[in-house]
Amino acid sequence: MKNLNGKVAVITGGASGIGLGMARAFAGAGMHLVIADLDDAARTAALAEFHAAGIKAIGQRCDVSSQEQVQALARMTMDNFGGVHVLCNNAGVGIPTATHPMKLADWRWIIDVDLYGPIYGIDAFLPIMEAQGEGHINATSSMAGLFASGFMGAYNVAKHGVVALMATLARDLAGRKSAVTASVLCPGPINTNISRHSVAYRPGHAKPAADGVSVGQAAKGIQKLLEEQGMDPDEVGRIVLDAIHTGRFWILTHPDMAKIAVKQTAAMAADGSLTGVRRG
Ligand SMILES: NC(=O)c1ccc[n+]([C@@H]2O[C@H](COP(=O)([O-])OP(=O)(O)OC[C@H]3O[C@@H](n4cnc5c(N)ncnc54)[C@H](O)[C@@H]3O)[C@@H](O)[C@H]2O)c1
């Protein structure tokens, strides 16, 4: 999409981190904003920032793992703006645990938020965009959607699902000459509060040991790494805006990391081995 000025963007998980970075970039391009997030305080702070800058922005408390709440978000957007041009299915959570003994409640929670969230978003917003004759749907996956390292079972599964979902959607839309396009964001490490938020949102807040390391401890380690080495989320927002303007499907913040996926694919074709497996 070339001209976004005066158009409407809906961003889930838009009150923090990458979502807030995208909202800031879209606002800079003259877009009106709908910030959907579970975090009331962060959403209020984000709206105050945009209103102070004269941006038309509204917010809604929305749990993306609820189909009803995502449908209500679409209705609220249409009631207020009468259209929607960019949807970023971005809200996400993840906790570092081994595939087993990861609790089934954690599997469901992560897959419901990270994969069903984007599915509900497409279900609710795509018909509106197609009727309108214009629109773009993005979803936030991860490098964890392109290769599966150990210890992030449900997150890897959900994020691979998001890549497959968006690639399939992009092909299906092109095949039927839809006016709507799609893209997928696969960030590398970004300096956000994802680990803190995920531990806080986790059902039951339990902290069972996983391979001898508590989820809380492991999440703190990831949080520290993101703070020390992660990209500024506002930079990610600018990258996404540029990709929407230029029509790129794959949006990578750290394109060098794609070589890990390339190496795995080469090993698969050469001898059927799984790269990076160490025993003991
Ligand atoms: N930070 C990274 O290094 C990184 C890397 C790759 C992918 N990602 C992905 O980027 C996306 C954004 O995460 P972030 O890093 O900006 O984290 P963040 O925690 O700073 O922001 C995520 C936002 O989503 C909201 N949220 C969580 N669960 C929700 C739900 N059920 N419904 C609605 N809102 C919900 C949170 O309140 C938060 O405001 C996620 O999908 C994440 O998996 C992050």
Q: Give the Cα separation of 88 and 272 in Å (integer).
A: 36
Q: What is the pLDDT of residues 262-274, one digit of tens each?
A: 999 999 999 999 9
| Residue whose pair of structure tokens reads 């080495």 in the numeric block | 229
Q: What is the pLDDT of residues 107-123, one digit of tens each?
A: 999 999 999 999 999 99
Nearest partner of 260 among 142, 176, 121, judged by Cα:
142
132 exposed, middle or buried (CB, 10 Å; 0-12, 13-18, 19+)?
middle
- Averaged confidence pLDDT in the chain: 94
Side chain identity at residue 242, one-letter code: D
Question: Which is higher by pLDDT, 266 or 278?
Answer: 266
Contact 92, 113 (CB under 8 A): yes
Task: Determine whether the shortest distance from the Cβ of 197 to ligand 1 is under 6 A.
Answer: yes
> Active site residue: 116, 120, 155, 201, which one?
155
For ligand 1, atom 41: residue with the closest CA: 92
Q: What is the pLDDT of residues 59-109, one digit of tens each?
A: 999 999 999 999 999 999 999 999 999 999 999 999 988 899 889 999 999
Ligand 1 midpoint to CA 13 (Å): 6
Q: Give the Cα separation of 2 and 25 in Å (integer).
A: 14
Contact 118, 169 (CB under 8 A): no
Task: Determine whether the shortest distance from the Cβ of 185 to ligand 1 is under 6 A.
Answer: no
> Is residue 260 scored above 60 in pLDDT?
yes
Q: Which residues contact 273 (CB under 8 A, 6 or more apart)?
A: 267
Nearest partner of 148 among 275, 268, 271, judged by Cα:
275
> Is residue 159 scored above 90 in pLDDT?
yes
Q: Give the Cα separation of 124 and 102 in Å (integer).
A: 31
Structural domains of the chain, with CATH: 8-268 (3.40.50.720)
Q: Please give the model's pTM, rounded to 2 decimal places.
A: 0.96
Mean pLDDT, residues 234-238: 98
> Is residue 25 scored above 80 in pLDDT?
yes
For ligand 1, atom 19: residue with the closest CA: 194
Q: Give the Cα separation of 100 and 151 in Å (integer).
A: 9
Mean pLDDT, residues 28-57: 98
Neighbours of 215 (CB within 10 A): 23
Q: What is the pLDDT of residues 183-220, one digit of tens each?
A: 999 999 999 999 999 999 999 765 544 544 577 888 88
pLDDT at residue 125, as a whole number: 98
Mean pLDDT, residues 130-142: 98
pLDDT at residue 211, as a whole number: 47
Q: Which residues contact 204 (CB under 8 A, 6 or more apart)?
A: 105
Task: Determine whether the shortest distance from the Cβ of 11 to ligand 1 is under 6 A.
Answer: no
| Residue whose pair of structure tokens reads 């259209």 in the numeric block | 83
Task: Determine whether the shortest distance from the Cβ of 113 to ligand 1 is under 6 A.
Answer: yes
pLDDT at residue 213, as a whole number: 58
